[in-house]
Amino acid sequence: MSEFKGLLFDLDGVIVDTAKYHFLAWKQLAEELGINFTEKDNERLKGVSRMRSFEIILEIGNREMSEEDKEMYCTKKNAVYLEYIKKLREDEILPGVKDFLVHAREKGYKLALGSASKNAPLILNQLKISDLFDEIIDGTKVSKAKPDPEVFCKGAEALGVPYEQCIVFEDALAGVEAAHNGGMKAVGIGLPENLPGAEMHIPGLYAATIEEIVAKLG
Ligand code: BG6
Ligand code: MG
């Protein structure tokens, strides 16, 4: 085995494409509030917490709201989002993800999820892959959002692996920065121009094995 011992995975955009469901739920709320919210705007919400996402939507609509009302609308959005998540099927897992996780475990790596989503455990359950992770750090366990490294540091600590022996898999720039802020290497899932700074880039977990990644990072 390599000098790397822990693998930390973002959820949305790495394991499963939930961005489309977040969009549908936010869009419904934005319409109710008379705010024009587009798919392009939705890009800004990737990797961002639920409350911060809503604040961005309010900024787009040039609106202000009390903290109490913001909480109320976030709860409402989540109820709509959960309706989609309850219907999430196993085959919506992104290509190659399951094989990658199973193989990495067989090779002795420790695996953790590091996600801003408070719904992460439910999503993993729907996809029937909860058991493939040794530890799950979700949005309920962190107080600081990416690019703060808290979510990945907690993941590494839960795995009992030093930060510098962890590799982070991320599709959002803030997530790549979070990895670096924690002293970890980052594999960018996506195009190099969208994720500058990541030590390597792949289009998805189907595109490389853990051995190939480690060989490149080492
Ligand atoms: C991140 C998504 O993983 O989770 C964001 O990329 C989302 O778009 C955030 O806002 C919080 O998700 P949830 O499920 O707690 O509302
Ligand atoms: Mg993501």
pLDDT at 43: 85
The pLDDT tens digits of the residues spanning 93-106 come to 999 999 999 999 99
Q: Which domains does the chain carry?
A: 6-16+90-217 (3.40.50.1000), 19-85 (1.10.150.240)
Q: Quick one: which ligand is closest to 118's CA?
A: 1
Atom of ligand 1 nearest to the CA of 115: 3
Q: Are 187 and 202 in contact (CB under 8 A)?
A: yes
Summarize pLDDT for 148-204 with one digit per residue, the tens. Answer: 999 999 999 999 999 999 999 999 999 999 999 999 999 999 999 989 999 999 999
Question: Per the confidence metrics, is the pTM higher than 0.85?
Answer: yes
Q: Which residues approach ligand 1 with their CB closer than 6 A? A: 11-12, 22, 45-50, 53, 78, 115-119, 139
Give which of 120, 123, 103, 122 is closest to 111, Cα–Cα: 103
What's the CA-to-centroid distance between 26 and ligand 1, angstroms? 11
Q: If you measure from the C-alpha of residue 56 to the centroid of ligand 1, how many angstroms do you get, rounded to a whole number? A: 13
What average pLDDT does range 39-65 have in this prediction?
Answer: 93
131 is catalytic: no
* Amino acid (one-letter) located at 70: K
Q: Is the pLDDT assigned to residue 82 strictly greater than 80?
A: yes
